[in-house]
């Protein structure tokens, strides 16, 4: 009986530690993120400043809307998993003109396609549904320098 109680106690302690780790990791996310990727030698437009806090806290956007780790076509990323920068997987800047790839392959390979597909398509979907949304035009995300 004592052995079973000890095992239960250890499992419970590990569960509590896991919950605290997830809460700690979630609290460590910066309020804003500047979308500056090493895959671009130079940026033709101003960098996007993304409000992580607005999207996650104010708008209740689920973490898995942006953070992902696909295994067999399914996003298996969950709270507490490592958050990688987009360019860790989307390793090339932008498809060369004339390259013929399916949209899915463009998003998988090119940073530009991945970011625009994720952000812009979400904003456009909300706009189409008549819901409040962020910008859908270039200048809305890439403001001119002041």
**CA–CA gap between residue 45 and residue 64 (Å, rounded):** 27
**CA–CA gap between residue 1 and residue 86 (Å, rounded):** 50
Q: Is the pTM of this model over 0.85?
A: no
Q: Are strands 70-71 and 32-34 parallel, antiparallel or unpaired?
A: unpaired
The domain 31-141 having CATH identifier 3.30.70.20: the answer here is no
Local confidence pLDDT in tens for the 146 residues of the chain: 577 776 776 666 676 666 555 544 545 678 999 999 999 998 888 999 989 999 999 889 999 999 999 999 899 999 889 999 999 999 999 999 888 899 999 999 999 999 999 999 999 999 999 998 989 999 999 988 65
Q: Domain map of the chain by residue range?
A: 1-30, 31-141
CA distances from 73 to 19, 39, 67, 70 (A): 27, 25, 14, 6
């Amino acid at each position: 009986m004592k052995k079973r109680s000890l095992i239960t106690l250890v499992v419970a302690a590990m569960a509590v530690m896991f919950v605290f780790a997830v809460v700690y990791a979630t609290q460590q996310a910066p309020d804003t993120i500047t979308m500056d990727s090493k895959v671009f030698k130079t940026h033709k437009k101003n960098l996007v400043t993304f409000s992580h806090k607005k999207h996650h806290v104010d708008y209740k956007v689920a973490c898995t809307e942006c953070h992902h780790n696909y295994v067999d076509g399914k996003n298996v990323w969950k709270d507490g998993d490592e958050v990688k920068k987009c360019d860790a997987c989307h390793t090339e800047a932008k498809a060369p003109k004339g390259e013929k790839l399916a949209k899915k392959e463009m998003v998988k390979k090119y940073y530009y396609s991945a970011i625009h597909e994720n952000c812009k398509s979400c904003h456009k979907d909300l706009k189409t549904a008549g819901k409040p949304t962020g910008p859908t035009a270039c200048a809305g995300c890439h403001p001119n320098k002041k």
